[in-house]
A and B are shown apart, each in its own frame.
Chain A
Amino acid sequence: MKTYLIPMLMTAAISISACETGYGESASNKAEAKKEANMEIAQSPADLNDLEIAHVAYTADNIDIRYANIALKRSSNPDIHAFAQTMIRDHKAVNELALALLDKLGASAQDNFLSQTLNKNAEPIIAKLESLSGKEFDIYYASNELAYHKAVNDLVENSFIPNIENAEVKELFEVGLGIFKGHQEHAQMTVNKLGK
């Protein structure tokens, strides 16, 4: 799909660049151009525009914060509490920076299929977390955090960063990726400790 889209996107981008007044307008027009060209709406992460990618990241952060709040409520394990508090602290920090950057660029994140899929997929996990307690909860929460960070990090590193057009947005994602890889290591440590 990506290969097929490139020539059309280039054409659209060229026509937009002559009249764009801001980054937000550029990305918005890019999305509109896709529709006007009667192209298939992006259904691959690699086809998302910067503002859609920002929305996915914001959504993924908020899902992890929801998981962490459940962990603080349901677990009595100090390691789980420490991990959950770090997830809330760090993901909020990244989201605040992302919103500040979008504000500076005069743009808004755009909802898309992937954000919706992430939210949809999170619901059964939240239901499961709400149903567990004790060590069973701790193991499920930590294992899910490990799997979630692996999946999102892979998405960010291999699908998002190579396709982000705006340099500042790309830089923020690179910084975020470093943080989330740290979370992945932390989750792995927590899983290992629980398994002992």
Chain B
Amino acid sequence: MRIIIYFALTLAVTGVAVCAPGSAGAEQPPAQPVSQQALVEVSAHIIEIHKMRFQTKLLNVKIGDTVTWTNKDIVPHTATASDKSWNSGRLNKGESFTLTITNQTKLDYFCIYHRQMQAKLVIGITQ
């Protein structure tokens, strides 16, 4: 499941002094607010933990995306970075954990309780 969210980034620049060579003393038009809108596409990914597997073994993400793990198994699991820099903690059946991807996010992860459960996030195209 992929949910796309658009953030409108508005950069308002006010009171910009225009000072061109040779224009000293010339009358300047009043500064106008300048709006610049940039669209940043952020995706919300969902990974089901089911049948003792991370159902998406390899997931392409971008900086700013979120990834949510939901445990569908009757036994608890975790989603934990291989260097343990982030950790969902114990996820019982039906519980979820959401992580926002940054350029510092460790991408390899596993389940602390079931070491054979390993998966990976992959940074794709960044905005």
Partner-B contacts on A (CB < 8 A): 79, 82, 85-86, 89-90, 93-94, 97, 175, 178-179, 181-183, 185-186, 188-190
A-B contact pairs, 13 of them (CB 8 A): A86-B114, A90-B75, A90-B113, A93-B75, A94-B74, A97-B74, A175-B74, A178-B51, A178-B52, A179-B74, A181-B52, A182-B114, A186-B115
Residues of B within 8 A of A93 (CB): 74-76
Q: A178-B51, A179-B52, A181-B52 are in contact. Are A89 and B76 (CB under 8 A)?
A: yes
Which B positions have Cβ atoms within 8 angstroms of A? Answer: 51-52, 73-76, 112-117
Please report the C-alpha to C-alpha distance between residue A90 and residue B113 in the assembled complex, in whole angstroms. 9
A189 in contact with B115 given A90-B75, A179-B75 (CB within 8 Å) = yes
In the complex, residue of chain B having the shortest beta-carbon distance to the beta carbon of A79: B115
Q: Which residues of the partner chain B approach A175 to less than 8 Å between Cβ atoms?
A: 73-74
* Given known contacts A179-B52, A181-B52, A186 and B116 CB-to-CB distance under 8 angstroms: yes
Please indicate the chain B residues that have their CB under 8 angstroms from the CB of A190 in the complex.
Answer: 115
A186 to B76, CA, bound (A): 15
Expressed in whole angstroms, the minimum distance between the Cβ of B81 and any Cβ of chain A is: 17
Determine if B113 and A86 form an interchain contact, defined as CB atoms under 8 angstroms apart.
yes
B116:A185 contact, CB within 8 angstroms: yes
**In the complex the two chains form, what is the Cα distance from A186 to B53 in whole Å?**
12
B46–chain A nearest beta-carbon distance, Å: 20
Given contacts A86-B113, A90-B75, A179-B52, 18 further A-B contacts (CB under 8 A): A79-B115, A85-B113, A86-B114, A89-B75, A89-B76, A89-B113, A93-B74, A93-B75, A178-B51, A178-B52, A178-B73, A179-B74, A182-B52, A182-B114, A182-B117, A183-B114, A186-B114, A189-B116
